[in-house]
Amino acid sequence: MSTVRSVPGESSHISMKSALRSARILIVDDEAIVRDILKRRLIDLGCACESCDNFRDARDLLAKRRYDLLLADVSLPGESGRTILKEALRICPNIAVILLTSVVDIETAVDSLKDGATTT
């Protein structure tokens, strides 16, 4: 199952702040500075954010709460972002998932899209 969302055209322009105002976002990254930067910026845009640094905690949070978006590092210690992607979609079929990485790897990107990562 692939989730594809289009970006609004100029004629229906909405600000990022208004689009994200009530979004609930889970950030999963093993680097505290990355989590903190993303969380602070998204909160400034009006989002409700939580974060954690590992797959187990992410899975527990996804099972307990409803999120609109999951932002997850592709390479977490012990688990891959694709594992988190599949588990998130299993638990919350309507969640949008964006995988983050600092490494350019086309194969991982294509495989993640096939597994259901959100595209824009």
User: Tens of pLDDT along 84-96?
Assistant: 889 999 999 999 9
pLDDT of residue 77: 82
Q: What share of the chain is helix, strand, coil (3-state, %, to 5)?
A: 45, 20, 35
User: Per CATH, is 18-115 categorized as 3.30.830.10?
Assistant: no
pLDDT at 22 over 50: yes
Query: What's the pTM?
Result: 0.74
pLDDT of residue 8: 47
Asked if residue 73 lies in contact with residue 34, where contact means CB atoms within 8 angstroms, the answer is yes
User: Tens of pLDDT along 24-75?
Assistant: 999 999 999 999 999 999 999 999 999 999 999 999 999 999 999 999 998 8
